[in-house]
Amino acid sequence: MKLTLRIWRQNGPSDKGAMVEYKVDDVSPDMSFLEMLDVLNERLILDGEEPVAFDHDCREGICGMCSLVINGAPHGPERATTTCQLHMRKFKDGDTIDIEPWRARPFPVIKDLVVDRTAFDKIIQAGGYISAPTGAAPDAHAMPVPKPDADRAFEAAECIGCGACVAACPNGSGMLFTAAKVMHLGLMPQGQPERYDRVVDMVETHDDLGFGGCTNTGECTVACPKGISLDTIGMLNRDYLRATAGGAKK
């Protein structure tokens, strides 16, 4: 396959940045999107140019490091798939592909396609923990959890914190991530002691960091590589109202 890539190049946080065009020949349809960028970078290094910086780690779709907006879609055109698990067979020979970093004020660009997602860590620090001593692995069923709650918590726990929800949101909101983290703990018995403080603290931190507000457009859930559903935000809202209007927050 022969492709034309238009890639966002930005030398550092204070650089203005621009889209730069590259031609890549001999791309195999079996390559992953990141392997295709590896091929480009190998050539750039041999030519004495600066390679394109991009985030990646496990390349198995579970770490949440890869973060490319491909033709305007975070993680590319395939649903429920991370960039590293996206393969070039999803594109056609001769395609032009635009590659940009996540765009949000709380995710400043470090270099090229790499953004700083410390803001998510700050949201986690605000409430993404439990204080109940859980000790060593307990016996199965020692603490019964209703099956629907366990399933729902597990679904929320699938969030890998990649930030695609923020990148996709027309409001630049990180509410799907926040909701996934809040509900993943809030539905489990071990998460109950901090349940209503957690939701308020995490939402406040989210807002203070400069993320936008949720208007339920549903863009996030379409972009989410783990398919976290929009009603997770509805559950967060319910807990938030119980905590504030209902007076459940201590």
Partner 1 sequence: MAVSGGLLVLFIVVHMVGNLKIFFGREEFDGYAAWLRAIGTPALHETWFLWIQRAGLTLCVLLHIGTAADLAVRAKRARPVRYRHRPKVQGGYAARTMRWGGVILVLFIVWHILDLTVGTVNPRGVHGEPYGNVVAGFQPERWYITLFYALAVIALGFHLRHGLTSALQSLGRGNAVRERGLSAAAAVFAVAIVVGYLSVPFAVTTGLVT
> Contact between 156 and partner 1 (CB under 8 A)?
no
> Contact between 127 and partner 1 (CB under 8 A)?
no
Total residues contacting partner 1 by CB under 8 A comes to 42
Pick the closer one to partner 1 by CB: 29 or 77.
77
The mark string for 60-99 relative to partner 1 (x by CB under 8 A, - otherwise) is ---------x-xxx------------------------x-
> How many residues make up the chain in this entry?
250
**Strands of the chain, DSSP E:** 3-9, 18-24, 69-70, 73-74, 96-100, 109-111, 114-115
Q: Which residues of 47-74 are buried (b: 16+ CB within 10 A; e: fewer)?
A: eeeeebbbbbeebebebbbbbbbbeebb
Which residues ranging from 197 to 226 are in contact with partner 1 (CB under 8 A)?
210-219, 222
> Contact between 170 and partner 1 (CB under 8 A)?
yes
Look up residue 246 and give its amino acid.
G
> Contact between 112 and partner 1 (CB under 8 A)?
no
Angle between helices 118-127 and 195-208 (to 10 degrees): 150
Min separation Cβ 131 and partner 1, Å: 25
Pick the closer one to partner 1 by CB: 86 or 214.
214
Pick the closer one to partner 1 by CB: 64 or 102.
102
Per DSSP, the residues of 6-54 read: EEEE-SSTTS--EEEEEEE----TTSBHHHHHHHHHHHHHHTTPPPPP-
Residue 76 DSSP symbol: -
What tokens appear for 22 in the block? 């590259």
Pick the closer one to partner 1 by CB: 71 or 192.
71
Min separation Cβ 136 and partner 1, Å: 34
State the Cα–Cα distance between residues 204 and 202, nearest whole angstrom: 5
> Contact between 13 and partner 1 (CB under 8 A)?
no
State the Cα–Cα distance between residues 123 and 125, nearest whole angstrom: 5
Q: Which stretch binds partner 1 (CB under 8 A): 42-50, 129-137, 183-191, 227-235?
A: 227-235
> Contact between 33 and partner 1 (CB under 8 A)?
no
- How far CA 69 is from CA of 158, 159, 201, in Å, comes to 21, 18, 30
Min separation Cβ 139 and partner 1, Å: 31
Min separation Cβ 173 and partner 1, Å: 7
Min separation Cβ 106 and partner 1, Å: 7
